[in-house]
């Protein structure tokens, strides 16, 4: 996603919590292609870290025009069996983290800018064991829709992308080949989404061409019911 946004001409700050290797690889890919990028380490739920992240972006590039918050945790358990400590950790990243980043975006984005967060199409499919994750993403969607109205008059768009089954490490982890095959057949297009599919949606919604789309949740899922 960061490389696609860089290809659209944006200077990029790649934030990471723990995987510094992947972040540095993304920065190298962008700079090798002639783009501008830097890495920053920060927990999205840590308000001071996120202030420092936005300060760094403004100092390096002169301002903030696009914010994409794709940070998230996934834990699968039935409501009856869920460990509440796991729920707290999940919601710290997925809800508090979403709010912290959205707050900084609301304060810092320049006119013509865009804020984009991530939800999930499982909100509609209601798959058992996804309760804690879906609860957190329902909160993300609500925050997004309210923030779009709160930024009236700023010429800043606020949207959420809600992917369906997408072949990311987070999605594939812990699933059997049979489960993956069944999930791949769920969309009408009969395949898993790819990170590139989602990156194209993100690039559109954060571009001038997508600036008339505001206060929306876009379910990028290949036609899932």
Domain contains 196: yes
Task: Please tell me the distance from the alpha carbon of residue 112 to that of residue 114, in angstroms, as a whole number.
Answer: 7
Residue 126: the pLDDT is 84
Residue 3: inside a domain: no
Residue 183: the pLDDT is 87
The pLDDT of residue 54 is: 98
62-75 per-position pLDDT tens digit: 999 999 999 999 99
Could you give the number of structural domains in the chain?
Answer: 1
Decide if 108 contacts 64 (C-beta within 8 A): yes
Cα-based angle 81, 142, 2 (whole degrees, multiple of 5): 90
Instruction: Indicate whether 111 belongs to any domain.
Output: yes
User: In the chain, pLDDT over 70 holds for what percent of residues?
Assistant: 100
Q: Which residues, given as ranges, of the chain have pLDDT below 50?
A: none
Q: Is residue 1 in a domain?
A: no
What pLDDT, on a 0 to 100 scale, did the predictor assign at position 168? 86
Q: What is the pLDDT of residues 158-210, one digit of tens each?
A: 999 999 999 988 788 878 999 899 889 989 999 999 999 999 999 999 999 99
- Is residue 119 in some structural domain? yes
In the block, which residue shows the tokens 């540095």? 24
Range of the domain at 180: 64-218
> Given this model, what pLDDT does residue 125 score?
84
Nearest to 148 by CA among 101, 110, 116: 116
Report which of 78, 74, 80, 65 is spatially closest to residue 11, judged by C-alpha positions: 65
**What's the CATH number where 94 sits?**
3.40.50.720
Please check whether residue 160 lies inside any domain of the structure.
Answer: yes
Q: Is residue 110 part of a domain?
A: yes
* Residues forming the active site: 133
User: Is residue 58 situated within a structural domain?
Assistant: no
């Amino acid at each position: 996603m960061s490389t696609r946004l860089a290809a659209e001409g944006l200077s990029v700050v790649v934030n990471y919590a723990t995987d510094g290797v992947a972040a540095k690889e993304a920065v190298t890919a962008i700079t090798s292609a002639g783009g501008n990028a830097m890495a920053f380490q920060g927990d999205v739920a840590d308000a001071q870290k996120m202030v420092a992240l936005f300060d760094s972006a403004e100092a390096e590039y002169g301002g903030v025009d696009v914010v994409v918050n794709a940070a998230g945790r996934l834990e699968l358990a039935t409501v009856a069996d869920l460990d509440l400590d796991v729920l707290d950790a999940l919601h710290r990243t997925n809800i508090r983290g979403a709010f912290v980043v959205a707050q900084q975006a609301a304060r810092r984005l320049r006119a013509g800018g865009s804020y984009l967060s991530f939800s999930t199409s499982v909100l509609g499919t209601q798959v058992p064991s996804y309760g804690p994750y879906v609860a957190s993403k329902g909160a993300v969607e609500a925050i997004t829709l309210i923030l779009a109205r709160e930024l009236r008059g700023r010429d800043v768009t606020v949207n959420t992308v809600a992917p369906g089954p997408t072949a990311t490490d987070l999605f594939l982890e812990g699933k059997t080949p049979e489960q993956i095959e069944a999930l791949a057949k769920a969309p009408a297009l009969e395949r898993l989404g790819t990170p590139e599919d989602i990156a194209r949606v993100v690039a559109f919604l954060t571009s001038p061409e997508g600036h008339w789309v505001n206060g929306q949740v876009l379910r990028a899922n290949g036609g899932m019911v």
